[in-house]
Amino acid sequence: EQRCVVAVDGPSGSGKSTVSRRLAVALGARYLDTGAMYRAVTWAVLRDGIDPADADAVTKVADSVLLSVGTDPEAPHISVDGTPVDGPIRGSEVTAAVSPVAAVPAVRAKLVAQQREIIVAAGRIVVEGRDIGTVVAPDADLKVYLTASEAERGRRRSAETATDLAATVADLARRDKFDSSRKADPLRQADDAVVLDSTDMGIDEVVAYLTTLVDGAT
């Protein structure tokens, strides 16, 4: 089947995961959640009792762990040194610690290299993250920057995690600020990305629109 790489970037809670998985199914493609990889390294950092702000110690953990990533869009999964971590990486401890871990350049270098290998092996894949169109896959066939108003992103994430709305909005704002202002590969729109504000759009509508864009791009 024809090679096709779709990059989906955007802030937390923009609907990237749901949209990317659904788009991958529609395209008969694989799906890679790069955020899950940063979360998995963060899980290992906490497992080892390492301070997430200690960049040298975090680098050592990242260098020594083996991440296995399953890219079936119907059942994505990730394990660290053979232990499945799909549940724990969504917990509040990991969510609170992931941004400083993801800001360490050596961590990014290692994960970006693994992400590129996964993309090449898959051939046809939808990849979601913060730096996919800018760093990981600058030659992607289609780059999407998915966004939504802060209030709407908060509502969606709060419904998904059953967490208080005000706390969720505060957490999203904190992570977005950290992710956008870090030195190493910050969250940024690629110049050639299609910007899609999904505040007033349903998931089906977003997926249908992106499917037509992919058809036009490949």
Tell me the C-alpha to C-alpha distance, in Å, between residue 152 and each of 15, 144, 146, 165, 201: 10, 19, 13, 10, 11
Among the listed residues 14, 20, 34, 134, the single contact to ligand C5P using CB under 6 A = 34
Among the listed residues 50, 102, 142, 214, the single contact to ligand C5P using CB under 6 A = 102
Residues 6 or more apart whose CB falls under 8 angstroms from that of 197 comprise: 147, 148, 149
Under the criterion CB under 6 A, does residue 156 sit at the interface with ligand C5P?
A: no
Under the criterion CB under 6 A, does residue 157 sit at the interface with ligand C5P?
A: no
Under the criterion CB under 6 A, does residue 130 sit at the interface with ligand C5P?
A: yes
Among the listed residues 179, 193, 198, 207, the single contact to ligand C5P using CB under 6 A = 179
Among the listed residues 85, 98, 122, 190, the single contact to ligand C5P using CB under 6 A = 98
CA atoms in the 13 A half-sphere facing the CB of 216: 9
> What is the rounded distance in angstroms from the CA atom of residue 103 to the CA atom of residue 19?
25
145, 133 Cβ separation under 8 angstroms? yes
Residues of this chain that interact with ligand C5P (CB under 6 A) are: 12, 34-35, 38-39, 98-99, 102, 129-131, 175, 179
